[in-house]
Amino acid sequence: MARRRVKEDRRGEIAKCAGALFAEQGVRATTVRDIAEGVGMLSGSLYHHFKTKNDIVHELMRQYGDDLVARYEQAAVLGGTAIERLRRLFHACLEANLQNPDEEAILIRELDALFREPEFGYIHEMLVQIESLFVGVIQSGMESGEIRADIDVHFVYRMMMDVMGAVPRWYDPSQHAKDDVVEGWIDIFTRGVGRAAAE
């Protein structure tokens, strides 16, 4: 077990360094020579640990994808009002960003580019899974009377996901309190910014 730890560490070290570079400048713009330099070896040596450059991306995304879905599933589970579950979903999004900022940045950044290729199909399956979790929560809120039933569920979902998807572009844990952001979202999404809502 300890032996395996050491063996895996080198691989993990490469993945972590590559993740930082991918997040910063994009997968395509990052060369295997960049990655190798980052971990102090030559590009040829990388291929002892990974078969291809994209395999590093797969390693990062498969791991992060599992983590992300697990977080959302736990957040969406019954318990509390629909708004409270929505709050937990938003919280899960920021929490994931805090713990794996590079992976989240890569996920969002490559969605319309690299991840459209067939070999990354599992990523879109994951997004569908997350969408159904969100839609389920919103819908249950409509049935319970917490959420307006006169708006399209998927329209609401899209707005929420678009807002969350932009997080890697601006979220800085040292500048923004996680709870403040979540409450800000919940506040605006539930009550709106209209003056009437505040009275």
Partner DNA sequence: GTCTATACATCGATAGAC
Partner DNA sequence: GTCTATCGATGTATAGAC
Binding site for DNA (CB under 7 A): 7, 10, 30-33, 36, 40-45, 47-49, 51-54
Residues 73/88, Cβ–Cβ less than 8 Å: no
Beta carbon nearer to DNA, 31 or 81: 31
Q: To the nearest whole angstrom, how small is the minimum distance from the Cβ of residue 33 to DNA?
A: 5
147 binds a copy of itself (CB under 8 A): yes
Binding a copy of itself (rule: CB under 8 A), the pick from 9, 132, 148, 177 is 148
Q: How far from 38 is each of 42, 43, 47, 133, CA to CA, in Å? A: 10, 10, 15, 38
Which x/- pattern, by CB under 8 A, does the window 57-96 give for a copy of itself?
--------------------------x-------------
| Complex with DNA: residue 18 or 126, whichever CB lies closer | 18
**Count of CB atoms situated within 10 Å of the CB of 2:** 6
User: Which amino acid, 170?
Assistant: W
Comparing CB distances to DNA, the nearer of 22 and 157 is 22
Residue 146 binding target from a copy of itself, DNA, none, CB below 5 to 8 Å by type? a copy of itself
Residue type, 177: A
List, in sequence order, the alpha helices (H) in 47-111.
Answer: 53-76, 82-99, 101-109
Tell me the closest approach of the beta carbon of residue 47 to DNA, in angstroms.
4
**b/e burial code for range 60-99 (CB count within 10 A of at least 16 → b):** bbeebbeebbebbeebbeeeeebbebbbbbbbbbbbbbee
Q: Cα dihedral sign for 105, 94, 178, 99?
A: negative
CB of 100 to DNA, least distance (A): 22
Q: How far is the CB of 25 from a copy of itself (least distance, A)?
A: 7
Count Cβ atoms below 10 Å from residue 109 Cβ, excluding itself.
19
Nearer CB in complex with a copy of itself: 78/198:
198
Residue 158, binding choice from DNA, a copy of itself, none, Cβ under 5 to 8 Å by partner class = a copy of itself
Q: Tell whether residue 118 is a contact of a copy of itself (CB under 8 A).
A: no
